[in-house]
A and B are shown apart, each in its own frame.
Chain A
Amino acid sequence: MATEELAGRVAAAVANRGLHEAVARSVDRHSYAAIAALTPDVRRVYKARARAARLRSVRDLASLAEQFIREAERRRIVVHTAADGVEAVGIVLEIARQHGARRIVKSKSMATEEVELNRQLATAGMQVLETDLGEYIVQLAGQRPSHIVAPCLHMARDEIAGLFSREAGREIAKDTPSLTAFARERLREEFRQADLGISGGNFLVASEGAVVLVTNEGNGRMCTTLPKVHVALVGVEKLVADFADMTDALRILPVAATGQLITSYVSIVRGPAGAGEEGPQEVHVVLMDSGRSEILGGPYEEVLACIRCGACLDICPVYRQTGGHAYGSVYSGPIGAVLTPLLSSESEAQALPFLSSLCGACTDVCPVGIHLHEHLVALRARAAARGIAFPAEAGAFRALRRLWTPGRRYRLVRGLMRGALRLGGGAPQLRAWTKGRLLPPVAPRHVADLLIAEGLIEEGR
C-alpha cells in the first residue's frame, strides 16, 4: 500500500541522525535570519501588503492571464499555454528541436521539477545542465531537490566533493571555495556554449508582460541573457497585476526564504533583444495550468497565493526530522503536504497531510498568511473520507471514538486509565515515552463525577 511506503521512508529518515543535523544546520539559519531581518511592526506591514497582492492575483487570475498574454506578445514574447505537464514538456521539446538545441542550461524552477522536464529532454537526446549550485549538485547525485530554496541542504560536503571529483576526473578539495570554483569553471563553459536557456519564474507581471526571476548566484541572469533562446516555464498562479503588486510580494519573499532584504539579483525579462542589443533573440513563456485551475474557486484556493519561499519547511518540526525526500513529492514540508494532494490524485499524495504535527507554526511564519494547518486538517478529513489513511491510525481513532463516547464503556475505560496513572507507567509499550516524564497526580474523584453529583451535567448512558 502506498501509505506504507511513505511510512517506511519517514521511518528511515527519522532514524538518520546525520540527516537531522544537516537539515537543522540550514533551516535554523534561515529561520533565525528571517526573524532578525525586520522589526515586528515592519514585518506586519510587509506581510499584509504581500498577502493583499497575492490574494488579488488569485481573485483576478483569468483576467490577469489574458492581460499577460496580450502585453507579453506586444513585447514579442511568444506565449504558449499548457493544460498539463505533458503539454508543457511537449512545447519545450518542440522549441528545442526547432532550434536544433543540443546543450541546454537551466536555472532552478519547481515547475520544471513538477513536470520532470530534465528527464524528458535527456530522453530526447539533449544535454540539460542545472546551473544553480545546489541543483547542479543534486543533478549529479541523481536526486531531487529536498528543499524549495536550498536543494541540497541534506548533503554533507564530503558527498559533494565526491560527486565533483567524479565529474572532474580528479580530486576536488572539500573546502567551500574549491568546490564552488570547480562548479563556476564547469558551468561558465556551458553558459558560453548553450543553445537554449530554461528558467521558471517567481512572478509574471500582467501589466508588463514580464517574467521576474529572483536568484542569488547569477545563474538565472546567465540563462536568460546569454543563450540565443530563452524559455520560461511558469505556473499560471505566479501572475501578479503590476509592478506595485510584484514589489509588495518581492519585499517579503527573500526575507522569509533566507533573511535577506533582497536577493543579489532580480531579473525582469521583458522580451527578446532589440536591434543591436545583446540578449536572446527569442523569448518563450509557457503558461502552465496542470491542476491550478481546479484549485481556483475551491476551498483550498488560498494556497495559490504561495510564493515558494520555503519558510514553512524551515519551521516545520516534521520536516526537520524527515528532510524533503521522505515526502516522495516535488514539494515537501507543509506547503508540499497541502499542494501535492491538490495537484496529484495518487493515494500516497493524499496521505501527505498526515505528515504534520498541526502545531500551526507554518501558518504563523507564512509571509502571505496562508492558513496551512487548517488546510492540512481539511485535507486529512478528505483523505479519510476517501479511505486513505494509515491503517493503524484509522483503527486507533475508530476505537477511541467508541471508548470515549459517554456511557458505561467510557466509565469503565476512565476507571482503568485512572488505575494505570496511579501505577505510574501505563502500558509497557509506552514506558519509553513515560519514563522521562512526570505523570499528573490522580484526583480522588473524577471531575465528571463531581459535576454529576452537583447536578451540573447528566450522566451518559
Chain B
Amino acid sequence: MRQEEFLERLRRRPAGRHLPPAESAPDLPAPPADLVRVFAEMATKAGCRVAEGSFDQLRARLKDEVGQAPVLHGAEEEVLRLSEGLDEVDVDDPFAAEWGVALADGGVARTGSMCFVRRQVSPLTATLVPPRIAVLVPDAKIVWDLKDYLASPPKGGSLAVVSGPSRSADIENDLSIGVHGPGDVLVLLWHDEPQQAE
C-alpha cells in the first residue's frame, strides 16, 4: 500500500472520539541530590561491578582485570588512553574479543544505565559482543532520568542504553546471566579530578 493511502486510512478515522479528554500528567518525583552516588548504587543493583576513582586508578584497575585478554575498544581519546598496553583486536572481528572497553556518552542514575551512541569512533559492538565489558562513566555525564539524557537528542547514529549484564529467565524463571550480551559489566566511575591551579 502506498504511503499516502496508508496515511489517508488513518486520517479518515475519528481518532480520540472514545477517549477521555487529554489531561496534563502529574510531575515526576524530584531527583535526589547526589546523582553520582545513586548511579553507583543502581548500577550495582542492576548487576554491574562498580569501581570508582581517578583516571589513573581506573586504568590500573582495568589492566589488572583484563591482563593479556584480547580487547575490542573504540577510538575516543579517553578510551585510547585507558586501553594503552592492552592487547587489542580488530574492530571488524568483534567475536575475537574477550573484553570490550567503551566510554559512556551518558549515565542514568535512576536505573544505573549507561548510554552509547554509534559514531565512527564508538562502535556499539564493543559493549555488545565481548563476554566482559568495562565502561568509563565520567561523573559529569550522569543525569537523573533517561528523559533528561534524551532531552537534547545526542548527535550520531543509533543508541544503546545498557543496564547491567545480559539476562534471561526464560527457563523455568531461573535467572541466567550472559545469554547473548556480556555477562560481566564493570563500571569505571570516573570522578572529576580537581583542576590544578596554574
Binding site for B on A (CB under 8 A): 22, 25-26, 29, 41-42, 44-45, 48-49, 51-53, 55-56, 58-62, 65-66, 69, 79, 81-83, 87, 131-134, 137, 150-153, 156-157, 160, 176-177, 179-180, 183-184, 187-188, 191-192, 208, 216-219, 221-222, 224-226, 236, 243-244, 246-248, 250-251, 258, 261-271, 273-279, 287, 289, 293, 296-302
Contacts and interface: CB of A to CB of B under 8 A. Distances in A.
B159 interface: yes
B197 interface: no
Interface in B110-163: 110-111, 113, 118-120, 123-125, 128-129, 145-147, 150-151, 153, 157-163
Identify the 8 closest CB pairs spanning chains A and B, nearest first.
Answer: A218-B181, A134-B170, A81-B6, A59-B16, A62-B10, A297-B13, A268-B159, A243-B150
A51 B145 CA distance: 18
A60 B173 CA distance: 38
A190 to B, nearest CB: 11
A258 B166 CA distance: 15
A177 B176 contact: yes
B33 interface: no
Interface in B25-41: 25-29
Contacts of A180: 168, 171, 176, 178-179
A268 B106 CA distance: 14
B19 A301 contact: yes
A24 B41 CA distance: 32
B166 A217 contact: yes
A25 B150 contact: no
Contacts of B167: 216-217, 264
Contacts of B129: 222
Nearest to A180: B176
B49 to A, nearest CB: 15
Interface residues of B, number: 71
Interface of B: 1-3, 5-7, 9-11, 13-20, 22-29, 42, 46, 91-92, 95, 110-111, 113, 118-120, 123-125, 128-129, 145-147, 150-151, 153, 157-174, 176, 178-182
Given A131-B180, A176-B174, A270-B157, A49 B168 contact: no
Contact of B91 (A191, A225, A278, A301): A278
A236 B10 contact: yes
B171 A160 contact: yes
Given A49-B25, A184-B180, A216-B167, A62 B11 contact: yes
A280 to B, nearest CB: 9
A193 to B, nearest CB: 11
B180 A264 contact: no
A225 B124 contact: yes
B163 A301 contact: no
A217 B145 CA distance: 22
B33 to A, nearest CB: 18
A298 B18 contact: yes
Contacts of B3: 69, 79, 81
A274 B155 CA distance: 12
B158 A268 contact: yes
Contact of A156 (B124, B172, B179): B172
Nearest to B176: A180
Contacts of B28: 45, 49
10 contacts: A29-B173, A137-B171, A157-B174, A192-B95, A222-B180, A248-B25, A262-B113, A265-B163, A273-B157, A301-B17
Nearest to B119: A277
B142 to A, nearest CB: 15
B32 to A, nearest CB: 13
A273 B166 contact: no
A268 B16 CA distance: 28
Given A151-B170, A266-B163, 19 more contacts: A29-B173, A45-B27, A52-B23, A62-B7, A176-B176, A184-B178, A184-B180, A192-B95, A222-B181, A247-B150, A261-B110, A262-B113, A263-B163, A265-B166, A270-B157, A278-B123, A279-B157, A297-B16, A301-B15
B168 A217 contact: yes
A224 B158 CA distance: 10
B156 to A, nearest CB: 8
Nearest to B146: A247
A81 B1 contact: yes
A83 B1 contact: yes
B170 A137 contact: yes
Contacts of A273: 118, 157
B28 to A, nearest CB: 6
A255 to B, nearest CB: 11
Given A52-B25, A218-B181, A188 B160 contact: no
Nearest to A192: B95
Contacts of A61: 10, 15
A297 B13 CA distance: 6
